[in-house]
A and B are shown apart, each in its own frame.
Chain A
Amino acid sequence: MKIAVCATAPDIEALVDVRFGRCPYFIITEIEDGKIKKWESLPNPGINAFGGAGIQAAQAIARKGVNVVICGSLGPNAYGVLSSAGIQLIPGVSSITVRQAIEKYIKGELKPGFSIGPRGFGYGRGFGRRRRWRGGR
């Protein structure tokens, strides 16, 4: 089974990034018999996207054949496409390292959740581009 975790650096000991579409790296680990067999880092292609970062990121990890995604929060667009691709989503993870998160998952301490963050949470679209000063949107 393959698990992707949003990470702040290209290392399994790095902290879990709270963002999905704008996190710098994904750590993709392969789990076999409850153990981490191997891991690789994948730079997030969506990090500098103007908009739709979550879609780009989701596409990249879906192509890696990932079964589970562990992250802090993810927007509605990414949520929609990932679940339609049959990927299990576990948002709401933060302040721990990628390795700890995966170990927690293996022990069954992490459950799939439904906490969807606001869209355009990272930066780019939404912040600044067309946001009105009166906060109408």
Chain B
Amino acid sequence: MKFLASTGTKGGVGKSTFAILLTYKLISKGKKVVLCDCDVECPNDHLLLNRKLSNKTKVYQPIPKLDKRKCRKCGICAEKCRSNAIFWIPGGYPKFIHDLCNSCGVCWHICPFGAIKVSKKEIGEVYSVKIDKNFWFISGKSKPNVEETTPIVNEAKRKAIDVAKKINADYIIFDTAAGIHCNVVHILRESDMIFAVTEPTPLGLHDLKISLELAKKLGKKALVIINKSGIGSEKRIQRIAKKYKTYIAGKIPYSKDVLDAYVKRDLKNVHELLKLKVGL
């Protein structure tokens, strides 16, 4: 079982399009694939797949809860909280600010009176959809205004791995969020192959560098995928790829067929248009 990741720093560059085309390409070769949408803050692979999200499991974040009968108002919890999520003034009970809590657990471990209990807060959902016997789709989705969405990404990842083991899948394809933040790092560091999707525009070029730099930092090599190939010069992308000792591993042409399929949510029929130069 191989973990593939479709990533990219720029938004709207084609990470999801590429992930889905790659999925269909592998399925057409008779492989079993689990596609996992890890862009939990605004998941939209299901839209491109034309599926409704179903079969959900809730994701919770552990948060502290005060037992006022046991609390001696010592303030140790507030002093030790690295996220500054506990407000305490001498003589008062500590006040937990749940929006700032990252669930590290220091407060409930350190409290000398055992006055801090662990409670939970719902932060999102993970959906698992069976599309056919060779294709499962997992998607995470966070609730609005949740600061720490990484637990949802990890839960989606765990679910994808579980399903992949159950159906004996050949590949798990992770479609990450845009950017280089925790949610992306958590996926990339466990991936066997990273595809950095870009487009031949100045923005795409600039953001590609950031993605490649992140992969380098993680001790991995990211292969470059050019979406909308044909709208601009690809020489510079080639140069950057060379600088990071990688290469352009695939191209999606800027064509009406792709756009048409994208709009009609029927990317299945255009997977041949994705040209890959890497053996999978």
Q: A residues touching B (Cβ–Cβ < 8 Å)?
A: 46, 49-53, 55-56, 58-59, 62-63, 77, 80-81, 84-85, 125, 129-137
Contact = CB atoms under 8 A, between A and B. Distances in A.
B9 interface: yes
Contacts of A50: 82-83
Given A53-B84, A136-B11, A129 B100 contact: no
B9 A133 contact: yes
18 contacts: A50-B83, A51-B100, A55-B84, A55-B85, A55-B86, A59-B89, A77-B97, A80-B97, A81-B97, A85-B89, A125-B147, A130-B182, A131-B179, A131-B181, A132-B41, A132-B179, A133-B178, A133-B179
B42 interface: yes
Interface string B83-100: 111111110100101011
A46 B100 CA distance: 14
Contacts of A46: 84
B87 A81 contact: yes
Interface in B146-199: 147, 177-179, 181-183
A59 B87 contact: yes
B84 A56 contact: yes
A59 B42 contact: no
A15 B55 CA distance: 57
A51 to B, nearest CB: 6
B90 A134 contact: no
Most buried by A among B9, B90, B97, B182: B97
A130 B87 contact: no
A133 B10 contact: yes
B219 to A, nearest CB: 22
A57 to B, nearest CB: 9
Nearest to A59: B87
A133 to B, nearest CB: 5
Interface of B: 9-12, 41-42, 78, 82-90, 92, 95, 97, 99-100, 147, 177-179, 181-183, 207
A77 B178 contact: no
Contacts of A85: 89, 92
A134 B95 contact: no
Nearest to B102: A51
Nearest to A54: B84
A63 B89 CA distance: 6
Given A55-B100, A81-B97, A136-B11, A130 B181 contact: yes
Given A52-B84, A62-B89, A84 B178 contact: no
- Shortest 5 CB-CB distances between A and B: which pairs? A52-B84, A134-B11, A81-B87, A130-B181, A55-B84
B49 to A, nearest CB: 20
B97 A55 contact: yes
A101 to B, nearest CB: 24
Contacts of B178: 132-134
Nearest to B90: A63
A132 B7 CA distance: 13
A75 to B, nearest CB: 10
A84 B177 contact: no
Nearest to B97: A77
Contacts of B147: 125
A53 B90 CA distance: 19
A58 B95 CA distance: 12
Given A85-B92, A136-B42, A52 B181 contact: no
A98 B253 CA distance: 61
A54 B276 CA distance: 50
Residue among A53, A77, A131 with the most chain B CB within 10 A?
A77
